[in-house]
Chains A and B, each alone.
Chain A
């Protein structure tokens, strides 16, 4: 068991080493097998671990070696295998494998092929370390690792300066969150004298609800999650991160890295349950993010940016679920989101690949005939994200929404509104891309072709998962077995159900009606989108948008990027420029160059001692010896 668990992250790491060191030498034929192969093997091993966990429930801690032991601080390098980490393992390796397979086709022409897969394998390794760690420090190692790989992969096409800027932006905003996370870890260590989950949670049980200490800890950890999972205010990096290749957007910014924050809060569910104030903050942040991102997505025209904002919005839903104590609901939504969002991104990549790099939906249309497989899988993804039964998105979203309703009806209204907006903009994307007449150039129209099987097979697998994935957790009202909830119960039993005090809607309501009404409203939105974009074929018009002030505001993403630029980027650049001109040039350069100049000046004066006259040298020798003699006599 220990070997299997150790191999799961090690295999992608070896893939990274091999491809990273030999990226000039290894031919594409071979590396096409190495990179997806390691992830597939990890997936297989994760399945083995999963089934053995089903047979022997409970959490297992597998210690690799004793890493840090200094005084009070003991941080072993050990892995924790319990239902939550097992679920994440399956998602990461499963979806990761499909995306690696897809990338074999998508990135084949790219000269940096091996480098790409090296970074992707490194990412999978880091993410596995993140979810498998048994203490906060190991999680932080993976946390930083995925941030690094995100930077490397967003700026993959490094010759383009704007891509590099996007990569820097992602990394810096991540880092801001990481500061909070690190401070949280420090505070945990000071309070509990350990960073191991088992010890921390055990000690935390004795704390009353609402202590300031736990509030600080959970808030700091949540700041880390805000940076990593793109919540307000640290979300602006994610739309810019679409500069990276599409498989990167699928893997990192849809399925895995951005879910690290959700995982972290779910793992620390006990701490959060003991701190209702933080839960309130999380709830407000999640809902605000969900609505803001959904609104912005309504008027975006870049196909990947729409999906980026949709990711931010869905992450907001996950945090909303976490904030009301629906930990299983949030993890369920994380799972289904991984399926359908990866599917959507890969399908979009298929479209971009076929159209030779076109990303503006105003230049697309009518791709249904030329790319049938992409069309149907994309439709499956769009239906899933809009929450149409029986696809998976319906079950996961509804679980969150039902828990929200029992907590606070106002939030429920807001969340349901967000769902309707989601359905609208996703179908807007779908109709403008695939239905109607082609608005592209003639070259694009003839060039558009279906992708090769290596790309369509993952699409179909993910479409299948997006369609039936919901059945892992059908709630009781549908006479379902709620398998996921039972599976994750040991992890969440201490924390689930606790949240900040809300208005518990305890009146009589018919559960079927509560599910049906939003569903009907969503279908209405879809029909509205159909009418507007499929039948009338209203192409998004720049002039129309800019003329109406409210639409203009949304279309410019509420000017948040510009605000951040004014508030943070400009002062830092001003400071940097002044430090350079005043301190660097006038002070430090003078000092450093002065040392050299002084040495030369001294040497210039001293060189006259070398007269070349032997007699003079003899005299100095004798004089020196006498001087030493006198010095010694005088000392003693």
Chain B
């Protein structure tokens, strides 16, 4: 076990930081720019996964398993959230027959 950790620690942590930040930013841009509801959901998942990776990396670098336990929790919550999000999108699709979020603009002044 210690071998794996030591092998991981040969890589400086900044690599993980940059990588996860990049993934996160891609996810954010995807949420803001895309019009397809499913793609937005996928971008949100991308953001979640980048956080998971970062947590696992920090956990490995500081030898504290708490980070990885937290990743488990996040995965559970992500799964539940996706289930509900997809259910909502299915219902919206049934009533408007479109996946474009610009169609949902009735709740305004």
Contact A618 B31 (CB under 8 A): yes
**Interchain CB contact under 8 A, A613 and B32:** no
Cα A614 to Cα B28 in complex, Å, equals: 15
Interface string of B32-46 (1 = CB under 8 A from A): 100100001000000
**Is A607 close to B, CB under 8 A?**
yes
| Residue contact A612 to B108, C-beta cutoff 8 Å | yes
Which residues in chain A, 602-636, are within 8 Å of chain B measured between CB atoms? Answer: 607-608, 610-615, 618-619, 622
Given A622-B28, A622-B31, A622-B32, decide whether A614 and B105 contact each other with a Cβ distance below 8 A.
yes
Q: Which residues of A contact B32 (CB under 8 A)?
A: 615, 618-619, 622
Q: How far is the CB of A620 from chain B (nearest CB, A)?
A: 10
Contact residues in B for A607 (Cβ distance below 8 Å): 109
Complex contact B102–A614 (CB within 8 A):
yes
B12-38 with Cβ < 8 A to chain A: 28, 31-32, 35
Indicate if the CB atoms of B101 and A614 lie closer than 8 Å.
Answer: yes
Question: Is B80 in the interface zone, CB < 8 Å from A?
Answer: no
* Complex interface: chain B residues within 8 A of A622 (CB): 28, 31-32
Residue of A nearest to B106 (CB): A612
User: What is the predominant secondary structure among interface residues of chain A facing chain B?
Assistant: helix
Task: Tell me, yes or no, whether B107 is within 8 Å of chain A by CB.
Answer: yes
Once the chains bind, are B108 and A610 in contact (CB under 8 Å)?
A: yes
A608: nearest chain-B partner, CB-CB: B109
State how many angstroms separate the Cβ of A633 from the closest Cβ of chain B: 15
| Cβ-defined contact, B31 with A612, below 8 A | no
**Does the CB pair B31–A611 fall under 8 Å?**
no
**B37, closest chain A residue (CB):** A614
Q: Mark A311-337, 1 if CB is under 8 A from B, else 0.
A: 000000000000000000000000000
Note all chain B residues with C-beta closer than 8 A to A612: 104-109
Distance in angstroms between the alpha carbons of A610 and B107 in the assembled complex = 8
* Contact flags B94-108 to A (C-beta < 8 A → 1, else 0): 000000011011111
Q: B105: which of A608, A611, A618, A619 is its contact (CB, 8 Å)?
A: A611
- Nearest B residue to A621 via CB reads B31
* Beta-carbon nearest neighbor of B35 in chain A: A615
Collect the chain A residues with CB atoms within 8 Å of residue B107's CB. 610, 612
Q: How many of chain A's residues touch chain B, expressed as a range?
A: 10 to 19
Q: Which of A585-613 contact B (CB under 8 A)?
A: 607-608, 610-613
Interface string of A98-132 (1 = CB under 8 A from B): 00000000000000000000000000000000000
Bound form: Cα–Cα A607–B32 in Å: 23
CB pair A613–B105 under 8 Å, yes or no, is yes
Beta-carbon contact of A610 and B109 below 8 Å: yes
A622-B28 Cα distance, complex, nearest whole Å: 8
Question: Which residues in B have their C-beta under 8 angstroms from that of A614?
Answer: 101-102, 104-105
Task: Name the distance in Å between B81's Cβ and chain A's nearest Cβ.
Answer: 15
Measured CB to CB, the closest approach of chain B to A371, in angstroms, equals 83
Partner of A611, one of B40, B101, B108: B108
Identity of the chain B residue whose Cβ is nearest the Cβ of A623 in the assembled complex = B32
Complex alpha-carbon distance, A622 and B105, angstroms: 19
Q: For B108, what are the chain A residues with a Cβ–Cβ distance below 8 Å?
A: 610-613
Residues of A within 8 A of B101 (CB): 614-615
Residue from B28, B102, B109 within 8 A of A615 (CB atoms): B102
Q: How far is the CA of A618 from the CA of B28 in the complex (A)?
A: 10
Instruction: List, in ascending order, chain A residues with CB within 8 A of B35's CB.
Output: 615
Which chain B residues lie closer than 8 Å to A619 at the CB level? 32
Complex: A615 Cα to B43 Cα, angstroms: 14
A607 to B108, CA, bound (A): 9
- CB closest residue in chain A, given B109: A607
Residues of chain B lying within 8 A (CB to CB) of residue A615: 32, 35, 101-102
- Chain A nearest CB, measured from B48 CB (Å): 15
Q: Distance in Å from the Cβ of A350 to the closest Cβ of chain B?
A: 78
Shortest distance between the CB of A406 and any CB in chain B (Å):
94
The distance from the CB of B99 to the nearest CB of chain A, in whole angstroms, is 12
Name the A residues within 8 Å of B28 (CB-CB): 622
Closest to B33 in A: A615
Task: Look across to chain A and name the residue whose beta carbon is closest to the beta carbon of B40.
Answer: A618
Task: List B contacts of A610 (CB < 8 A).
Answer: 107-109
User: Across the interface, which residues of B come within 8 angstroms of A608, CB to CB?
Assistant: 109
Q: Give the Cβ gap from A608 to chain B, nearest Cβ, in Å.
A: 6
The docked-state distance in angstroms from the alpha carbon of A619 to that of B104 is 15
Q: How far is the CA of A608 from the CA of B108 in the complex (A)?
A: 8
A residues 369-423 touching B (CB-CB < 8 Å): none
In the assembled complex, how far is the CB of residue B64 from the closest CB belonging to chain A, in whole angstroms? 23
A611 to B31, CA, bound (A): 18
Taking CB atoms, residues of chain A closer than 8 Å to B40 are: 618
CA distance A607 to B104 in the complex (A): 18
Question: Complex: how many Å from CA A614 to CA B32?
Answer: 10
Most B CB within 10 A of own CB, among A607, A608, A613, A615: A615
The closest CB in chain B to the CB of A607 belongs to: B109
Assembly CA distance A618 to B35 (angstroms): 11
9 contacts between A and B (CB under 8 A): A608-B109, A611-B109, A612-B105, A614-B102, A615-B101, A618-B31, A622-B28, A622-B31, A622-B32
Which residues of A are at the interface with B, using a C-beta cutoff of 8 A?
A: 607-608, 610-615, 618-619, 622
Q: A612-B105, A615-B101, A618-B32 are in contact. List 5 more A-B contacts (CB 8 A).
A: A610-B107, A611-B108, A614-B104, A614-B105, A622-B32
